[in-house]
């Protein structure tokens, strides 16, 4: 009996990498790539699996018999917000490649600020040869908000570099050599944090959580005199007007942002020109398509063997 087709609807930049990757995966079943013009108008009622990122609005009405959905990225809030989302398992993309690259980004940005690279960039522009007071990783406490797979690995890598690391999540986690706080301990967590790292999913509880009131609670006695904020989680968790005001008023010493309230970041945003803001275009842990398809193949094999799917989203929690 022929195996059920996999439906692919991925609105990624770089169409060529998707086409190339599809040539190496799903060899045992048909693949319907909705970006291929030849699939226009095709009956999708035989599809049982769908790999999605910003899918077409009519997808679920065209494919009414889906049994499992796979998110094309680590985040799932866009999928959860889709019109007509069927009540079937939604699987997050969890892969070592995503985790490694996120940890690299977090370590890079923490070192970037700890070693005062934004200040040296300003001095360079002024041709001012001025050594600044030295500091090392062990002089800073990095507080990570969000202790899932990405947050745990980032904590481990930061500790290898010598940073003091603490963590926060809504429900308290247990991580070796990392003191963890829960929702009730947020103020205590913030009061000890010199560099705040946001790796939170976007939910009703986390929307806009990185705001002025939160920044005011961060520690102000660290080596830089004011704290640093790094967000590689979700743009909807930050209030960018508050970020800019906090920088201008000295509540924050510097900021690194990989995610934004509106993406792409509008050309009119003052974040582009601010000398204390590092801007990257949501690439801290962008999807490796080959790793994504390998992950989907593994999960489909489990599903068809009667084994439980891994990394299924808890819709009530939002992640």
pLDDT tens by residue, 254-286: 999 999 999 999 999 999 999 999 999 999 998
Pick the catalytic residue from 62, 112, 274, 282.
Answer: 282
**Using alpha carbons only, how large is the chain's radius of gyration in Å?**
22
Q: pLDDT digits over 148-182, tens only?
A: 999 999 999 999 999 999 999 999 999 999 999 99
| In the chain, % of residues over pLDDT 70 | 100
Mean pLDDT of the chain: 96
Judge whether residue 13 has pLDDT over 90. Answer: no
Which pLDDT does position 37 carry in this prediction?
A: 93
What are the structural domains of the chain? 6-95+287-317 (3.40.50.720), 96-279 (3.40.50.720)
Nearest C-alpha neighbor of 198 from the set 24, 298, 43, 75? 75
The pLDDT, as a whole number, for residue 198 is 98
**What predicted TM-score, i.e. pTM, was given to this entire model?**
0.92
The single residue listed with the structure tokens 């489909």 is 300
Query: Can you give the pLDDT at residue 164?
Result: 98
pLDDT score recorded for residue 14: 80
Residue 265 CB contacts under 8 Å (≥ 6 apart), including other chains = 271, 272, 279, 281
* Residue of 113, 234, 253, 311 marked active site: 234
The verdict on whether 282 is a catalytic residue reads yes
Tell me what pLDDT residue 36 has.
94
Residue 1 has pLDDT above 90, yes or no: no
Q: In which band, very low, low, confident or very high, does the pLDDT at 57 lie, cut at 50, 70 and 90?
A: confident
- Cβ atoms of 237 and 208 within 8 Å: the answer is yes
In this prediction, residue 75 carries a pLDDT of 86
- Confidence band for 89, pLDDT divided at 50, 70 and 90: very high
Q: CA-CA distances (angstroms) from residue 208 to 48, 100, 176, 284, 310?
A: 36, 27, 30, 20, 30
| CB-neighbour burial class of residue 113 (10 A; exposed 0-12, middle 13-18, buried 19+) | buried
**Long-range contacts for 175-184 (Cβ within 8 Å, ≥24 apart)?**
175/147, 180/147
Average pLDDT of the segment spanning 85-90: 97
Strands in 6-10's sheet, in edge-to-edge order, are: 31-33, 6-10, 49-53, 68-71, 90-91
Residue 267 CA: distances (Å) to CA of 164, 263, 291, 311: 37, 11, 32, 37
């Amino acid at each position: 009996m022929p195996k059920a087709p996999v439906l692919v609807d991925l609105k990624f930049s770089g169409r060529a990498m998707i086409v190339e990757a599809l040539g190496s995966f799903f060899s045992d079943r048909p693949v319907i790539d909705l970006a291929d013009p030849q699939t226009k108008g095709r009956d999708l009622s035989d599809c049982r699996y769908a790999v999605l990122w910003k899918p077409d609005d009519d997808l679920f009405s065209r494919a009414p018999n889906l049994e499992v959905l796979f998110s094309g990225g680590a985040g799932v809030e866009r999928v959860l917000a889709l019109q007509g989302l069927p009540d079937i398992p939604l699987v997050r993309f969890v892969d070592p490649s995503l985790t490694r690259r996120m940890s690299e980004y977090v370590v890079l940005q923490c070192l970037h600020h700890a070693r005062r690279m934004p200040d040296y960039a300003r001095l360079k522009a002024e041709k001012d040869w001025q050594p600044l007071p030295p500091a090392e990783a062990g002089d800073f406490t990095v507080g990570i908000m969000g202790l899932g797979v990405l947050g745990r690995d980032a904590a481990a890598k930061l500790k290898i570099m010598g940073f003091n690391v603490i963590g926060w999540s809504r429900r308290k986690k247990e991580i070796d050599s990392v003191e963890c706080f829960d929702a009730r301990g947020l103020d205590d967590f913030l009061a000890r944090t010199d560099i705040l790292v946001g790796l939170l999913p976007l939910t009703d509880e986390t929307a806009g959580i990185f705001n002025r009131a939160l920044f005011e609670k961060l520690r102000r006695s660290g080596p830089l005199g004011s704290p640093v904020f790094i967000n590689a989680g979700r743009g909807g968790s930050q209030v960018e007007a508050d970020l800019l005001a906090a920088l201008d008023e000295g509540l924050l010493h510097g900021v690194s942002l990989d995610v934004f309230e509106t993406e792409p970041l509008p050309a009119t945003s003052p974040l582009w020109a601010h000398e204390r803001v590092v801007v990257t275009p949501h690439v801290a842990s962008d999807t490796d398509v080959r790793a994504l398809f390998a992950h989907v193949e593994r999960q489909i094999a489990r599903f068809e063997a009667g084994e439980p799917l891994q990394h299924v989203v808890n819709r009530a929690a939002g992640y």
